[in-house]
C-alpha cells in the first residue's frame, strides 16, 4: 500500500501502517482481492478504479478487471453515474459469526471505545498472525494532533508494541525462532533484531508488567500495548494506544492506568471466556 497516496486520499498527514509481504508464499490474485477489500474498509466510501490502482500500486487494467469480477460475484457494486465501486452487504456479513458476542458491540469493542474516549488517541486491537501483530480493529484518534492507523496493518512481532505483548507468554526458544526468521527475511537496509536485547525486553515486560518504547516502527510515533486476558479462542489479543512519541511519553503513566482500569472493568464480562492461567492477569506495555 502506498502510504503517501493513501494519506492524500484520506487527507491525513501521518499514516501508521506497515506490512512485510511474503511474495513467494502468497498467490498474487488472492492477495490483490483482499487488499482491495481492506482498502475499502479504510476509506469507508466508494472509490474509482484509478484511486484503488494508485493507493495499492497496481496496474489500472488488472485493477479494473478485479473490481468488475467482484461486482459479478456480488461483493462490490458499481455506480454507473460516478463510475465508482463500493462494498455490498455481502462483504459485511463475511465472518460476522466469528467471535460475534465479543466484537459486535461487545466488550472488546467497548474497551477500545472507552480507552479512545479517555485518551483521545488511536486505539488498536491486535492479534498474532504468524510473524506479525495484525490490527484487526481500530478506533481512530480524536485529538487535534493525531496519527491515522490503518486497519489490517501487520507489524513485526519482534519490534512493535502490540507484537511484544503477544510474545510474553511464549517460551524463549519460540521467540528465538521468530527473531531468526524475522532477520532472515528482513528487507535490505532494515535494522535486524538483536536476540539478546529482545529477550531482555520480553523478560522485563514479564517481570515489570509494563514498559514503553518509541520511534521503533514509525518515526515520531509511540505506543503503549496491553496483553488482554486469554479468551476461550486460540487467538491472543493485545490492545494498544498509538500517538505522537512526545504525547505518549508525557502521558505514559496515565495511559497505562487507563488500560488497566478499562480491562479490569470489563473482566467480569469476559470471565466466562477466560482461561485459568495465572499469567493472564499481567499487563504489558510497549511502544
- pLDDT for 107: 83
Domain stops at, among 28, 59, 93: 93
Question: In a 3-state reduction of DSSP, which class is residue 245?
Answer: helix
**What does the pLDDT average to over 176-199?**
92
pLDDT in tens, 92-113: 767 766 766 666 667 888 999 9
Looking at the fold, whether 111 and 83 belong to one and the same domain comes out as: no
Looking at the fold, whether 143 and 248 belong to one and the same domain comes out as: yes
- pLDDT for 270: 61
Looking at the fold, whether 24 and 113 belong to one and the same domain comes out as: no
Number of domains in the chain: 2
Percent of the chain residues topping a pLDDT of 70: 84
Task: Kindly report the CATH number assigned to the domain that includes residue 35.
Answer: 1.10.10.10
- pLDDT for 1: 65
Classify residue 286: in a domain, yes or no: no
Name the more confident of 282 and 171.
171
Looking at the fold, whether 143 and 241 belong to one and the same domain comes out as: yes
**What does the pLDDT average to over 219-244?**
84
Contact 228, 106 (CB under 8 A): no
Looking at the fold, whether 54 and 168 belong to one and the same domain comes out as: no
Looking at the fold, whether 79 and 150 belong to one and the same domain comes out as: no
Q: Kindly tell me if the per-residue pLDDT of 19 is higher than 90.
A: no
Q: Which domain holds residue 190?
A: 100-281
Ranges 8-17, 19-28, 147-156, 248-257, most confident: 248-257
Q: Residue 128 class from Cβ within 10 Å (0-12 exposed, 13-18 middle, 19+ buried)?
A: buried
Phi, psi (deg, nearest 5) at residue 222? -130, 165
Classify residue 197: in a domain, yes or no: yes
Looking at the fold, whether 258 and 202 belong to one and the same domain comes out as: yes
Domain stops at, among 39, 72, 93: 93
Looking at the fold, whether 85 and 136 belong to one and the same domain comes out as: no
Looking at the fold, whether 121 and 160 belong to one and the same domain comes out as: yes
Task: Kindly report the CATH number assigned to the domain that includes residue 163.
Answer: 3.30.450.40
- pLDDT for 208: 74
pLDDT in tens, 38-69: 999 989 999 999 999 999 999 999 999 999 99
Pairing mode, strands 213-214 and 221-227:
antiparallel
Looking at the fold, whether 33 and 160 belong to one and the same domain comes out as: no
Looking at the fold, whether 226 and 143 belong to one and the same domain comes out as: yes
Looking at the fold, whether 159 and 79 belong to one and the same domain comes out as: no
DSSP string for 45-83: S-B-HHHHHHHHT--HHHHHHHHHHHHHHTSEEEETTTT
Contact 242, 112 (CB under 8 A): no
Query: What average pLDDT is seen over the chain?
Result: 83
Q: Mention every residue, 6+ apart, whose C-beta is less than 8 A from residue 158.
A: 164, 167, 175, 178, 179, 182, 193, 198
Maximum Cα–Cα distance across the chain: 60
Q: Kindly tell me if the per-residue pLDDT of 22 is higher than 60.
A: no
**What does the pLDDT average to over 120-140?**
90
Name the more confident of 31 and 25.
31
- pLDDT for 90: 78
Domain stops at, among 93, 115, 147: 93
Classify residue 287: in a domain, yes or no: no
Could you tell me the three cell numbers for 106? 461487545
Amino acid at each position: 500500500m502506498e502510504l503517501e497516496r493513501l494519506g492524500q486520499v484520506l487527507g491525513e498527514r501521518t499514516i501508521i501502517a506497515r506490512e512485510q509481504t511474503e511474495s513467494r508464499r502468497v498467490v498474487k490474485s488472492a492477495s490483490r482481492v483482499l487488499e482491495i477489500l481492506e482498502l475499502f474498509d479504510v476509506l469507508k466510501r466508494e472509490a474509482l478504479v484509478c484511486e484503488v490502482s494508485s493507493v495499492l500500486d497496481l496496474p489500472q487494467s488488472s485493477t479494473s478487471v478485479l473490481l468488475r469480477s467482484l461486482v459479478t460475484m456480488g461483493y462490490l457494486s458499481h455506480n454507473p453515474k460516478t463510475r465508482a465501486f463500493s462494498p455490498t452487504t455481502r462483504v459485511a456479513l463475511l465472518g460476522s459469526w466469528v467471535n460475534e458476542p465479543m466484537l459486535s458491540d461487545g466488550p472488546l469493542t467497548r474497551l477500545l471505545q472507552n480507552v479512545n474516549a479517555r485518551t483521545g488517541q488511536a486505539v488498536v486491537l491486535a492479534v498474532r498472525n504468524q510473524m506479525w501483530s495484525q490490527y484487526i480493529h481500530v478506533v481512530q484518534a480524536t485529538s487535534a494532533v493525531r496519527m491515522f492507523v490503518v486497519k489490517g496493518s501487520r507489524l513485526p512481532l519482534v519490534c512493535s508494541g502490540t507484537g511484544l505483548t503477544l510474545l510474553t507468554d511464549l517460551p524463549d526458544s519460540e521467540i528465538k525462532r521468530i527473531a531468526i526468521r524475522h532477520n532472515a527475511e528482513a528487507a535490505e537496509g532494515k535494522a535486524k533484531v538483536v536476540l539478546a536485547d529482545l529477550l531482555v525486553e520480553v523478560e522485563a515486560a514479564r517481570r515489570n508488567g509494563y514498559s514503553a518504547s518509541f520511534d521503533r516502527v514509525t518515526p515520531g510515533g509511540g505506543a503503549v500495548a496491553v496483553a488482554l486476558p486469554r479468551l476461550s479462542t486460540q487467538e491472543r489479543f493485545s490492545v494498544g494506544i498509538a500517538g505522537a512519541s512526545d504525547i505518549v511519553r508525557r502521558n505514559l503513566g496515565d495511559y497505562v492506568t487507563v488500560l488497566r482500569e478499562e480491562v479490569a472493568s470489563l473482566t467480569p464480562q469476559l470471565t466466562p471466556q477466560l482461561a485459568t492461567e495465572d499469567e493472564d492477569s499481567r499487563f504489558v506495555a510497549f511502544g
